[in-house]
Structure 1
Amino acid sequence: MTLGFRCRAFPAVAALGLAGSLAVSACGENTSQAERAGLGVLTVSPEAGVLSSRVSEKLDRAVKGVMKETKAPGVIVGLWMDGGGYVRAFGVADKATRAPMSTGLFMKIGSETKTFTVTALLRLADQGRLGLDDPVSKYVSGVPNGDRITLRQLAGMKSGLYPYTSDPGFQKAVLADPKRSFTPRQLLAYSFGHRAVFKPGEKFQYSNTNTILLGLVVEKVGGRPLREFVRREVLVPARLRRTLFPRGTEFPRPHAQGYTRQAAGGRLTNATGWNPSWAWAAGAMISTMEDMRSWAQTLATGTLLSPATQAERMKDPYEPFPGLRYGLGMFEVRGWLGHNGSLPGYQSVVVHLPARRATLVVLTNTDTSHKGRDVGTLFANAVTRVATPENVYNLPATPSSPAPSRTRD
């Protein structure tokens, strides 16, 4: 079995680079003199103190070490815990202009979108409008084995439905025109043309097909487009004012340029304007570091859900290897609860550690792998080795096979 957590659709390849040094500024979108000079910036929220200079220096070295090794163009790192806060922007947001990375930029968050789609589903369950053990056929027609696949199995990646991103025709279509718009039904057609991979509930396979179906369920029961339901039922009550579900290729400014090697020939390509509709409910959303900081805590603690419904998220998780458990649109990695994301040009890690009341957000403007491992994972691993050595965030290296067969966040 192969496991990874991202929204890949294209063949994977490599990575890029820079670093920064310390400056202190207030939170916000204003660009400081340090940022204009291309330096990293430490920003501390009013309610938190600065982590000790010794810890901050170690974190600086750790992040810069990953940047040097992977040649990532830029990264935003935010860590908040009892001892204080560490928020930094390293490297460049635009390789052409050399504009520096900044902590207030909008970024594509890939499969972090799954946490919003599944939370929307759970909100409907809380309202008594659907049951997690309802068959998907009750809400969406034409699903193979739909009368035997439950909404719970879709949210927990146990449906057995073929991952549409593994379909050669889909891969060819996306690579031929990365700005093409796909409908959810078009995406599902690539999946439904194949036999099931396994019987519902029998195994686990991370697949965007599951979350696309859940998006359609939310639309059916919620009575409005998914993006609108998520806004009203999740973003507004969670007070996330800088997070959005785009209609197409719109991307609020300021944002970082995203770089990928998933174009034809594996050449380095600017993927900023690529259309994320191919990932829809599984990976199309956009956000900022501060919103993701807030969301990490909301997701992990279940603020928007009843205690009973929140408990369902990790009631029967799948454990692909020691230290990782996947529940309903949320995973736990050595105590860190949340999710990660990846789609062409961008990667994210958004997690909360209840035992330490710690939150970690990593946003980077490349999706290229380094020795088979996601750059986002490498940054999160380096930060937690310093800050929470007893709870080190870690996901394994992935096989060198084409990414669609290991559809990840």
Structure 2
Amino acid sequence: MRYSQMRWRRACVGLAAAAMLGVPASTGSAYGAPALEPSFSASSSTGTTDTEFPELTPAVAARLDTAVRQIMREAGVPGVIVGLSAPGKGNYVRAFGVADKATGAPMEPDLYMRIGSVTKTFTVTALLELVDQGKVGLDDPIAKHVDGVPNGDRITLRDLAGMRSGLFNYTEDEGFFKALTSNPQRPFTPEELLDFSFKHPVQFQPGEQFEYCNTNLILLGLVVEKAGGMPLKEFIEQKVVKPAGLRHTVFPTGTEFPSPHAHGYTNQTASGKVEDTTDWNPSWAWAAGAVISDLPDLRSWARTLATGTLLTAETQAQRLKTGPTTIPGAGYGLGIFNVQGWIGHNGSLPGYEALTVYLPEARATMVVLLNTDITHDQAEPSTLFGQAITRIVTPDHVFNLPVQASRPTPQPTSR
């Protein structure tokens, strides 16, 4: 990502009010069962060798509670939902803090949340399903499916899904920033988003390097629509969400937000002041970041995504093949990160952040959802929570993404 001294993302944040931090953690699970009640058999039927992973006893849960609360205090996070589980080890499901700063309503484990760039995992899964059906090929040039793309005869669908296209990231365009923040409820079309990108020269030739870019996903969304024969919303909900058994994952087309949901808070605003973004229109993120989900669905999706149950084994193997990146300890495949062994994606858009990952060695799932994207000491709050949790449960696999890697959302180079 390109940053300047006038970048959209502000690096500093004050502490939250003491009243918000005094809200106790919810101890119920998202399913209404005790948070530490094991839900898996202690024996493995897969033959997989388990990595060292502690039993999620009350003592371990207390350590996790302390670590999460500490991050909340330090980073000024209003509310956060955490779900952690591994076969035979039990579940840790907690909600901390508040879902609405105005009313003080507590965060709950089953609230709907905007998940930002975790959306990319759904869009790329849709694309890969079409690959399995023979309707598109990963090595197709994007020009075969979408006209007018700079370097379109050389950029492949694989380049786009792997963040190696060289196209300019539309969310770094100053005009885009002004258009969004001047009227956050306005709708954007995919074509408008691409216009913000295509007025800039390509950054490098396809395949030469890794650079996170939302423009890539807008193009892939158009490919899914054309090859799939229906709007992206319908394809993802019918061909990805439903077969995956997800019941609370939706692709909004406007400002709609199922209830109950948490309010989101950001300083990525025209004034730089913190605002409530709950009703901002996510159409600007579309295939790159518009999806809404909840903890139960994302816990299931993390496993589905990493194990490839919706794809052929061959296609899943291609998805998980990671090329070099500039991110220490992390690789990027086709719409998916591998960070110290944790496979999945993070997401961030004004007011919300998400982390949805799976560790195959332990068959462990970790989901973190929070209602702010305000960084602390130039670090994403979702990454801070991921680090703190994994230092306790998987010290050999500590999740870490630097801020540049985990800002898959609007960040123009100047105001």
For normalisation by structure 2, the TM-score amounts to 0.89
**1:99-131 Cα deviation digits (max 9, x unpaired):** 000001000000000000000000000011110
Letter in 1 for 2:352: Y
Q: Secondary structure at the match of 2:411?
A: helix
- 1:42 maps to 2:38: no
Quote the Cα distance in structure 1 between the aligned partners of 2:61 and 2:253.
39
Quote the Cα distance in structure 2 between the aligned partners of 1:320 and 1:188.
25
- 1:347 maps to 2:350: no
Alignment partner of 1:304 out of 292, 299, 310: 310
Per mean C-alpha deviation after superposition, the further-off stretch among 44-53 and 376-385 is 44-53
- 1:269 maps to 2:275: yes
- Asked if the contact 1:12–1:403 (Cα under 8 Å) also holds between the matched residues in 2, the reply is no
CA-CA distance at 1:395 after TM superposition: 1.2
Quote the Cα distance in structure 1 between the aligned partners of 2:142 and 2:27.
51
- 1:12 maps to 2:10: yes
- 1:167 maps to 2:173: yes
Alignment partner of 2:75 out of 70, 75, 89: 70
> 1:248-397 counterparts in 2 under 5 A?
248-397=254-403
CA-CA distance at 1:14 after TM superposition: 4.2
> 1:129-148 counterparts in 2 under 5 A?
129-148=135-154
Alignment partner of 2:113 out of 107, 115, 131: 107
For normalisation by structure 1, the TM-score amounts to 0.90
- Asked if the contact 1:48–1:85 (Cα under 8 Å) also holds between the matched residues in 2, the reply is no
Q: 1:21 to 1:11 in 2, by over 3 A?
A: closer
Q: Secondary structure at the match of 1:265?
A: coil
Q: Secondary structure at the match of 1:320?
A: coil
Quote the Cα distance in structure 2 between the aligned partners of 1:277 and 1:267.
23
Letter in 1 for 2:10: A
**1:346-383 Cα deviation digits (max 9, x unpaired):** 00000000001100000000010000000011011101
Quote the Cα distance in structure 2 between the aligned partners of 1:244 and 1:12.
30
CA-CA distance at 1:51 after TM superposition: 1.6
Q: 1:279 to 1:329 in 2, by over 3 A?
A: same
Q: Which runs of 5+ in 1 are unaligned?
A: 4-8, 31-40
Percent identical among aligned pairs is 55
CA-CA distance at 1:20 after TM superposition: 5.1
**1:160-188 Cα deviation digits (max 9, x unpaired):** 01111111111111111011100000000
**1:41-66 Cα deviation digits (max 9, x unpaired):** 83657447982111111101100110
Q: Secondary structure at the match of 2:171?
A: helix
Alignment partner of 1:220 out of 226, 238, 250: 226
> 1:46-57 counterparts in 2 under 5 A?
46-47=39-40, 51-57=56-62
Quote the Cα distance in structure 2 between the aligned partners of 1:179 and 1:378.
30
Alignment partner of 2:31 out of 28, 32, 35: 28
The equivalent of 2:193 in structure 1 is 187
Q: Secondary structure at the match of 1:201?
A: coil
Quote the Cα distance in structure 1 between the aligned partners of 2:140 and 2:98.
47
CA-CA distance at 1:255 after TM superposition: 0.1
- 1:154 maps to 2:160: yes
CA-CA distance at 1:314 after TM superposition: 2.4
> 1:195-214 counterparts in 2 under 5 A?
195-214=201-220
Letter in 2 for 1:322: P
The equivalent of 1:127 in structure 2 is 133
Aligned residue-pair number: 390
**1:370-403 Cα deviation digits (max 9, x unpaired):** 000000110111011111111110112449x996
